[in-house]
Amino acid sequence: MDQQHIRNFCIVAHIDHGKSTLADRIIEATGLLTSREMQEQVLDNMDLERERGITIKSQAVRTVYKARNGEEYIFNLIDTPGHVDFNYEVSRSLAACDGAILVVDAAQGIEAQTLANVYLALDHDLDVFPVINKIDLPSADPDRVKDEIEDCIGIEAQDAPLISAKQGIGIDEVLEAIVEKIPAPQGDPDAPLKALIFDSVYDSYKGVIIFCRIREGRVRKGTRIRMMATGACEEVVEVGFFGAGAYNPCEELSAGMVGYITASIKNVKMTRVGDTVTDDDRPCAEPLPGYKKVNSMVYCGMYPADGAKYPDLRDALEKLQLNDASLNYEPETSIALGFGFRCGFLGLLHLEIIQERLEREYNLDLVTTAPGVVYRVHKTDGEVIELTNPSNLPEANLIDYMEEPVVSAEIMVNGEFIGSIMQLCQERRGRYISTEYIESTRALLKYELPLNEIIYDFFDALKSRSRGYASFDYEFKGYEKAELVKLDILINREEVDALSFIVHADSAYERGRKMCVKLKDEIPRHLFEIPIQAAVGGKIIARETVKAMRKDVLAKCYGGDITRKKKLLEKQKEGKKRMRQIGTVEVPQAAFMSVLKLDDE
């Protein structure tokens, strides 16, 4: 099929505005699948994604549309993750497209992620056209939303299709608009091969499957390809395009097409998203712009609850990493928790997803330490350390100063909540940048916030202080100097490495006090009194005490049913075995987890 009959596009939207549902409708309406064959949401094929209603990994699907002009068009719909943790992946997916459909909720209007994603699309020179979804809702106000789109984004919206993806209303219009408004791809099929990797997955039969957009040239079975950034070279085994949930092999992929390549590659690390694939025998002069290696933003320690499961955890992480190049891990040892791994993630959502997959798909019981960001420690001898584990912080007298990562955040909020949201940002050490009113009632707040202030529960706090209306997006800005200290927890005067974390000097006391209170409730009484202390630089700043056990008795023991009493005692003994030994104190696993949720109250 010639380039004139190809449309490569994606859908951008704020979370819950109906992106995946529209994608499903497009796939359905183009007739590649019957309704019966469709899974509820074809593009999201991981269970977890379906449950959380989010899209984790970008994927693509090719369908055939017969337009009103009687001609057939190939639609390559590339799905993008909607969450800020996966911003870089979004940007690479967009780079594989020529245009984008902007879905806006007819009732809610523009949200922070709508803006973030649409700007990202415009940055990639995509032609963006809006559709207004959920017009069947009683609260729908399409005219207001059209004005909002024009005022705020500056793109034409008066003839935007008014649709309900859920009800199947207005889908034909969307399909025609794709043909009319999204430009056909360009690029010389006879030039040297230049293809953009926008995703890759590991398949146990085919090895790594590279998802790519061919910018120039062509690729077929037997072509010797090279990843320009990683330098990996392999001979192509198969090329093809994406059916819904299936790989359909074909002869050749050429400039303008979207498809996949397999080449017996064993590790997704060799096929980094954003890298350029070229022909090793006839390479292109320059790679495509914009490749960067994604760095982990959030780190935490992950330990098996049962120490004997350490090899299982290692195997599970290995397997997950086959499909997720942005997951980092390396072995570490904690005095309190034994053998485990320090793991790096794109963000907190990414962390939660990995943790959940480890627990669910690999049946592992985990103890995780408080998530932290990567701090830069400038030592007096000039050395700079990237600190991912608080326990590795050098002695205070060896530190010149420390830096922490800061993000630029945009918060979209209704007028009435501006005050409380600004207060929240203030509490989280935010630096106010600006307020822009979108309409008289809605504003876009811009702040710079330290990343470590938002990785815990910022999103929840935002929602609760705006009755669910505020939306939020951020991007990494850079490192800034800050007054940071390491907060240590001592149980019965022994420092517990797994509970140490880095905190801003001003909040050290408050955090320390909350940790002590939480731990006091979690640690059972022992034969002796147990002090729980928070310390900064060896100085105690907070203390609680677990009083000595006074009662542990089965008052009643007769009736002859000794077996039952024995079972009770056995249960008690078993419970002890599952505890972590800190000196002479037995600490339940739950205590380590409880301190992760300090800000609930």
Site of interaction with another protein (CB under 8 A): 525, 527, 547, 549-563, 566, 568-570, 572-573, 576
Side by side, the strands of the sheet bearing 276-279 are: 233-235, 224-227, 276-279, 194-203, 207-216, 258-262, 238-243, 246-250
Q: Which is nearer to another protein, 68 or 551 (CB)?
A: 551
What is the closest distance, in whole angstroms, from the C-beta atom of residue 82 to another protein in the complex? 41
Q: Which is nearer to another protein, 36 or 550 (CB)?
A: 550
Q: Which is nearer to another protein, 224 or 547 (CB)?
A: 547
CA separation, residue 417 to residues 45, 414, 466 (Å): 37, 6, 6
What is the closest distance, in whole angstroms, from the C-beta atom of residue 598 to another protein in the complex? 25
Beta-carbon contacts of residue 417 (< 8 Å; ≥ 6 apart): 465, 466, 467, 469, 470
What is the closest distance, in whole angstroms, from the C-beta atom of residue 524 to another protein in the complex? 10
For the purposes of burial, counting CB atoms within 10 Å of the CB of 30, is it exposed (0-12), middle (13-18) or buried (19 or more)?
buried
Q: Which is nearer to another protein, 222 or 559 (CB)?
A: 559
Beta-carbon contacts of residue 262 (< 8 Å; ≥ 6 apart): 203, 206, 207, 208, 209, 210, 236, 237, 238, 239
Q: Which is nearer to another protein, 1 or 557 (CB)?
A: 557
In whole angstroms, give the CA distance from residue 502 to residue 514: 15
Write the DSSP string, 410-455.
EEEEEGGGHHHHHHHHHHTT-EEEEEEESSSSEEEEEEEEEHHHHS
What is the closest distance, in whole angstroms, from the C-beta atom of residue 590 to another protein in the complex? 20
Q: Which is nearer to another protein, 552 or 601 (CB)?
A: 552
What is the closest distance, in whole angstroms, from the C-beta atom of residue 479 to another protein in the complex? 49
For the purposes of burial, counting CB atoms within 10 Å of the CB of 550, is it exposed (0-12), middle (13-18) or buried (19 or more)?
exposed
How many alpha carbons lie under 13 Å from residue 322 in its C-beta half-sphere? 15
In whole angstroms, give the CA distance from residue 171 to residue 162: 9
Q: Which is nearer to another protein, 426 or 584 (CB)?
A: 584
Q: Which is nearer to another protein, 382 or 559 (CB)?
A: 559
Torsion of Cα atoms, 479 then 485 then 486 then 492, to 10°? -160
Beta-carbon contacts of residue 534 (< 8 Å; ≥ 6 apart): 487, 488, 489, 490, 508, 511, 512, 513, 515, 516, 540, 541, 542, 543
Q: Which is nearer to another protein, 384 or 549 (CB)?
A: 549
What is the closest distance, in whole angstroms, from the C-beta atom of residue 555 to another protein in the complex? 4
What is the closest distance, in whole angstroms, from the C-beta atom of residue 587 to another protein in the complex? 17
Q: Which residue is associated with the tokens 């400038």?
A: 378
Nearest to 369 by CA among 341, 406, 329: 341
Helix residue ranges per DSSP H, 324-433: 348-360, 418-427
What is the closest distance, in whole angstroms, from the C-beta atom of residue 554 to another protein in the complex? 6
Q: Which is nearer to another protein, 144 or 564 (CB)?
A: 564
What is the closest distance, in whole angstroms, from the C-beta atom of residue 367 to another protein in the complex? 24
What is the closest distance, in whole angstroms, from the C-beta atom of residue 585 to another protein in the complex? 14
What is the closest distance, in whole angstroms, from the C-beta atom of residue 527 to another protein in the complex? 6
Q: Which is nearer to another protein, 4 or 572 (CB)?
A: 572
Q: How far is CA 432 from the centre of its chain?
A: 26
Q: How far is CA 233 from the centre of its chain?
A: 30
If you ran DSSP here, which 8-state letter would residue 403 be given? E
In whole angstroms, give the CA distance from residue 101 to residue 19: 9
**b or e along 450-474 (b: 16 or more beta carbons within 10 Å of the residue's beta carbon)?**
bbbbbbbbbbebbeebbeebbbbbb
In whole angstroms, give the CA distance from residue 504 to residue 40: 46
What is the closest distance, in whole angstroms, from the C-beta atom of residue 575 to another protein in the complex? 9
What is the closest distance, in whole angstroms, from the C-beta atom of residue 568 to another protein in the complex? 8
Q: Which is nearer to another protein, 481 or 571 (CB)?
A: 571
Q: Which is nearer to another protein, 233 or 549 (CB)?
A: 549
Nearest to 430 by CA among 404, 414, 411, 453: 453
